């Protein structure tokens, strides 16, 4: 057999698209091209300062608490959607199916992690500590044994999680009473570094007050799905449909994500709306925009090379920069550009002085 036949054979064996013809006969006619499970979206969000932008969902449930799907399906959903990492965060205290499924609180993570490893997809071990307000719900991420967190006193739980190296976030502050009150217990936990992040986007909602909490207490902005049902059942199959935490990481690894979370290098994205620290949103926006002066005229071409659409206000005029499009326009020479879909606080949006440097 010559080398070309060997190469052709390898390609046919490894590439399902070239192998369609191999599996049709008069008895069975297969349509593998209709299957979508091995096709992944590509999400383009440019990094800056040497950081890459990882799209992560740090709040996910499975049947091992009150979710509706098996843990490895969560990995497939996120991989197909173009995400870079997820955390499995089943409730400790609320497990309606625990009579059917084993009592090992690490089981859902292990199943998801084993599958993630096969896809080279990062799965982080987490859990949701589930108490009444005022303390509310908190996710502990990067733990190594959830069974040790089944304790009565929630502060003891957080201390044990911290002993395991956890990053802890305060979940959905505005749920279930539609009030995002930060109570003294949260201030205490923040002071003790037993809360490191705050979930400003969750499920189908967000909490404007928490933008200010994150800035005031130097907490990482977190945005996650808190998904219980199959992801497409809630968000459909659109690209970037669920809320995600954007992590500005030095490297694609669990350690890289953990380092960035503790350093506060995150922002959140949902429905083309961003929230985060002013400095980070500024860098993210500017990394996404390329400007070209058109010779011989006053127009400029503004290219948005990211998958996030931006809306701008300069003076009383609104400009749109659709994702992955170039717009020919004119910007005023001076003034302030407000990026309308970038929240830096409850009542503040990203503002950039003109002229832009290009």
Nearer residue to Zn ion within complex by CB, 53 or 149: 149
Helix 71-81 and helix 107-119, axial crossing angle in degrees, nearest 10 = 40
Shortest distance (Å) from residue 41 CB to Zn ion = 24
The number of residues that bind Zn ion (CB under 5 A) is 4
Nearer residue to Zn ion within complex by CB, 171 or 180: 171
Contacts of Zn ion in 160-179 (CB under 5 A): 171
Shortest distance (Å) from residue 328 CB to Zn ion = 45
Shortest distance (Å) from residue 85 CB to Zn ion = 17
Q: What is the largest CA-CA distance in the chain?
A: 76
HEC string of the chain equals: CCHHHHHHHHHHHHCCCCCHHHHECCCCECCHHHCCCCCCCCCCCCCECCEEEEEEECCECCCCCCCCCCHHHHHHHHHHHCCCEEEECCECCCCCCCCCCCCCCCHHHHHHHHHHHHHCCEEEEEEEEECCCCCCEEEEECCCCHHHHCCCCHHHHHHHHHHCCCEEEECCCCCCCCCCCCCHHHHHHHHCCCCCEEEEEECCEECHHHHHHHHHHCCEEEEECCECCCHHHHHCCCCCCCCEEEEEECCCCHHHHHHHHHHCCEEEEECCEEEECHHHHHHHHHHHEEEEECCCCCCEEEEECCCCCEEEEECCEEEEECCCEEEEECCCCCEEEEEEEEECCCCCEEEEEECCCC
Q: Classify the C-alpha dihedral 187-200-83-266 as positive or negative.
A: negative
Shortest distance (Å) from residue 110 CB to Zn ion = 19
Shortest distance (Å) from residue 138 CB to Zn ion = 9
* Residue 199 makes contact with Zn ion by CB under 5 A: no
Nearer residue to Zn ion within complex by CB, 106 or 306: 106
Nearer residue to Zn ion within complex by CB, 80 or 131: 131
* Residue 242 makes contact with Zn ion by CB under 5 A: no
* Residue 226 makes contact with Zn ion by CB under 5 A: yes
Angle at 91 between CA 110 and CA 169, to 5 degrees: 95
Nearer residue to Zn ion within complex by CB, 86 or 339: 86
96-135 mask for Zn ion (x: CB under 5 A)? --------------------------------x-------
Shortest distance (Å) from residue 92 CB to Zn ion = 11
Nearer residue to Zn ion within complex by CB, 81 or 128: 128
Shortest distance (Å) from residue 61 CB to Zn ion = 6
Shortest distance (Å) from residue 229 CB to Zn ion = 12
Nearer residue to Zn ion within complex by CB, 171 or 196: 171
Nearer residue to Zn ion within complex by CB, 126 or 276: 126
List 113, 137, 258, 277, residue binding Zn ion (CB under 5 A): 137
Torsion of CA 142, 145, 148, 150, to 10 degrees: 70
| Closest residue to bound Zn ion by CB | 137
User: Of the ranges 79-87, 136-144, 203-211, 245-253, which one interacts with Zn ion (CB under 5 A)?
Assistant: 136-144
Shortest distance (Å) from residue 270 CB to Zn ion = 16
Q: How far apart are CA 214 and CA 170, in angstroms?
A: 11
Shortest distance (Å) from residue 60 CB to Zn ion = 8
Nearer residue to Zn ion within complex by CB, 174 or 256: 174
Nearer residue to Zn ion within complex by CB, 140 or 337: 140
Which residues form the interface with Zn ion (CB under 5 A)?
A: 128, 137, 171, 226
């Amino acid at each position: 057999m010559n080398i070309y036949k060997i190469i052709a054979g390898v390609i046919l064996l490894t590439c399902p698209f070239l192998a369609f013809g191999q599996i049709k006969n008069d008895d069975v006619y297969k349509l593998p091209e209709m299957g979508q499970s091995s096709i992944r979206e590509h999400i383009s969000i440019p990094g800056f300062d040497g950081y890459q932008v990882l799209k992560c969902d740090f709040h996910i449930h499975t049947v091992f608490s009150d979710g509706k799907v098996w843990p490895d399906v969560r990995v497939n959903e996120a991989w197909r959607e173009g995400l870079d990492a997820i955390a499995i965060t089943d409730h400790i205290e609320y497990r309606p199916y625990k009579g059917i499924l084993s009592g090992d609180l690490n089981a859902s993570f292990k199943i998801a992690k084993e599958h993630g490893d096969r896809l080279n997809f990062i799965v982080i071990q987490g859990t949701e500590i589930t108490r009444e307000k005022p303390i509310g719900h908190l996710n502990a991420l990067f733990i190594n044994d959830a069974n040790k967190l089944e304790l009565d006193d929630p502060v003891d739980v957080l201390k044990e999680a911290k002993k395991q190296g956890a990053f802890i976030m305060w979940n959905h502050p505005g749920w279930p009473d539609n009030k995002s009150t930060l109570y003294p217990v949260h201030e205490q936990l923040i002071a003790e570094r037993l809360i490191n992040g705050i979930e400003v986007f969750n499920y189908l909602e967000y909490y404007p007050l928490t933008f200010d909490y994150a800035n005031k207490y130097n907490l990482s902005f977190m945005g996650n799905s808190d998904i219980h049902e199959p992801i497409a059942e809630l968000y459909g199959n659109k690209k970037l449909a669920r809320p995600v935490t954007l992590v500005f990481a030095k490297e694609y690894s669990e350690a890289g994500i953990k380092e960035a979370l503790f350093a506060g290098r995150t922002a959140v994205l949902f429905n083309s709306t961003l929230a985060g620290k002013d400095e980070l949103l500024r860098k993210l926006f500017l990394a996404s925009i390329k400007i070209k002066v058109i010779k011989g005229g006053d127009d400029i071409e503004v290219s948005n090379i990211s998958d996030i659409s931006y809306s701008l206000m300069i003076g009383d005029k609104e400009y749109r920069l659709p994702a992955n499009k170039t717009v020919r326009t004119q910007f005023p020479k001076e003034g302030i550009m407000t990026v309308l879909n970038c929240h830096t606080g409850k009542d503040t949006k990203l503002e950039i002085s003109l002229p832009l440097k290009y």
